[in-house]
Amino acid sequence: MAQPLSLLRRPLPRAAAFAAAALGWAALGCASTLPSADEPGSDGAAEQGLHGSRWSWVEASCSDGRLRLEREGFERELNIEVESDAFLLTQETRLDARGCFRTSVVRARMTPETGLFRFEREADVRVQGGESCGPEEAEVADGALRLSGRTLEMVIFRSPFCRGFDVRMVYRRAATEVLAPRQLVGRYLAHFNRRDPERLAGLFAPEGSLEEPFTPTEDGSYLRHEGRSEVRGFYASAFATVPWLGMRLQELRVAPEGREVSVVWEYMDGRLAEPIIGRNLMLLVAGEIYEARIQMVTAGVLAAPGSADDDPPTPSDQPGD
């Protein structure tokens, strides 16, 4: 039986069923105590391995009553990656009543003093839909996580979903699926805005390639980067040249068979006087980028010498927010 929200506000005791999470864990780097797949009398085969796991939203409630998100066609998929000291949560949210699909990346890190999690949103991308895309979740919030069998519970304190009361989201473990085009594009934009070359390269097939017009070549053609390692190196070098950057989706077109994708975006960084427009043409195979080509639609105008701002614009002005 689920514990009431009031109990989840307190520092929680150790729980072997949620080994890598923070029910009393001060560091996520500790060895996992999830049941092993061959442990007698356990269903560890279904529970072990949080890294790379996928979870589907089941229900939600507020501390003052039930929250009926299903009335607006709310659906959310949660993907978990385990880092040395945190979880990286990729949330893909659909709100059918508003024609909305958005991707957000949240870092969940344990606070040893309280035994609770701090959730920090690192990227939020609207892939489909207008400005009204459901409650605007806080950039930083405290809460708790708990794993019980095939069910994952996430509690966020003072949530806009619940008019400032605590929200409890319940997820059920799901099988890993091939990424749909809008999922892949959402993750591409989110990890670009996070300046994460490793995860950007991970969206490409192992033998995937990227063509870009920014690196000079002898014949003036696009430079081609072959394989994840070269793609990772290109993005790492690009991110290292600017103090801040932001990319916002302008248009997404997907061919009927779902393999060819055109992504038009607006980009801004600390070197530019105004945003520029560009396009990514992608060929997708089995949910990965097999080929990508970056094209410029408008030319960039550099800021006057000495006027470049090392600080990013406010969230309301920055592309990608």
Q: Identify the top-confidence range among 132-146, 226-240, 297-311.
A: 226-240
Stretch (H or E) spanning 320: none
Phi, psi of 53 (to 5 degrees): -80, 155
Same domain, 154 and 186: no
Name which residue leads in pLDDT, 6 or 245: 245
pTM value?
A: 0.81
Percent of the chain with pLDDT over 90: 66
Closest CA to 25 of 12, 34, 35: 12
The mean per-residue pLDDT over the stretch 274-295 comes to 97
In tens, the pLDDT along 128-178 reads 886 667 788 899 999 999 998 899 999 999 999 999 999 999 999 999 999
Query: Is residue 168 in some structural domain?
Result: yes
10 Å CB burial of residue 251 (0-12, 13-18, 19+) is: exposed
The mean per-residue pLDDT over the stretch 17-46 comes to 30
**Structural domains in the chain (count):** 2
In tens, the pLDDT along 33-42 reads 222 233 333 3
What's the CATH code of the domain at 16? 2.40.128
Contact criterion met (CB below 8 Å) for 10 and 113: no
Contact criterion met (CB below 8 Å) for 200 and 162: no
Residue 237 and residue 200: Cα distance in Å, rounded? 13
Name which residue leads in pLDDT, 88 or 36: 88
Same domain, 21 and 88: yes
Query: Is residue 89 in some structural domain?
Result: yes
Same domain, 25 and 161: yes
Rounded to the nearest integer, the mean pLDDT of the chain is 82
Same domain, 226 and 133: no
Instruction: Inform me whether the pLDDT recorded for 2 exceeds 50.
Output: no
What's the CATH code of the domain at 237? 3.10.450.50
Query: Is residue 11 in some structural domain?
Result: yes
Residue 130 confidence (pLDDT):
66
Q: How many Cα atoms are found within 13 Å in the side-chain-facing hemisphere of 293?
A: 9
Structure tokens at 229: 């390692």
Domain extent, residue 263, equals 181-296
Query: Is residue 312 in some structural domain?
Result: no
Percent of the chain with pLDDT over 70: 79
Residue 120 and residue 154: Cα distance in Å, rounded? 14
Query: Is residue 309 in some structural domain?
Result: no
